[in-house]
Structure 1
Amino acid sequence: MKPTLEDLLAGVPAQEGNGGKPLAPSVSASKAKTAEPVTQIEKTTANAKRVLDEEAKAHADKTAQLKAAREARDGTGQN
């Protein structure tokens, strides 16, 4: 025997305050999309900034490692 709709909905609480209509989403689709870059040039700019930031961080990390190695080799880090 197939379950009826009433059997399936038995455990689902009734919605109140909306007159039986579906609830509206809390954030509209248009507002959700405005957080992302809109034009192709803005997307490209965001990607370029991300790449430059990653390269700058990698350069700073490498510089710090080399400085620490140089100080350890020369013994100038503990005066």
Structure 2
Amino acid sequence: MKLTLEDLLAGVPAREGNGGKPLTPSVSAFKAKTAEPVTQIDKTTANAKRVLDEDAKARADKTAQLKAAREARDGSGKNC
């Protein structure tokens, strides 16, 4: 006896939220892009951008801390 998909799925309970119907894919196969191979220069560029972004964030955080410390030291800068 050859089993069909319906025979195999007979004992599986229906899913909630879709009325027991098979789920439809959220992205059609036509719209789905195939991933292009990533070259070494692409990897290097991505890593360099990541490092630069992390440095910029650290610099901005340090600048904000120094500004807050300066304002606290000078009494909010209202003495001028």
TM-score category (smaller protein):
0.5 to 0.7
Q: Which residue of 2 aligns with 1:26?
A: 28
Higher RCO, Cα 8 Å, sep 6+: 1
Judged with a 3 Å threshold, the aligned counterparts in structure 2 of structure 1 residues 71 and 11 are, in CA distance, closer, same or farther, namely same
The structure 1 segments of at least 4 consecutive aligned residues displaced by more than 3 Å after TM superposition are 11-15, 25-28
Q: State how many pairs are aligned.
A: 62
1:14–1:50 CA distance, 2 compared to 1 (3 A): closer
Question: What residue identity is the alignment partner of 1:49?
Answer: K
Q: Alpha-carbon deviations, 1:12-67, whole Å to 9, x = none? A: 6787xxxxxxxxx8347x82413xx7211011101111111111111111111011
Query: Alignment identity in percent?
Result: 72
**One-letter amino acid matched to 1:65:** Q
1:49, 1:57 → 2: CA distance? 12
Letter in structure 2 aligned against 1:31:
K
- Who is 1:22 aligned against? none
TM-score (norm 2): 0.57
Residue segments in structure 2 that go unaligned for 5+ positions in a row: 13-19
> Which residue matches 1:59?
59
- 3-state DSSP class of the match of 1:31? coil
- Report what 1:18 is aligned to: none
Tell me which residue corresponds to 1:21: none
When the two structures are superposed, what TM-score results if normalisation uses the length of structure 1?
0.57
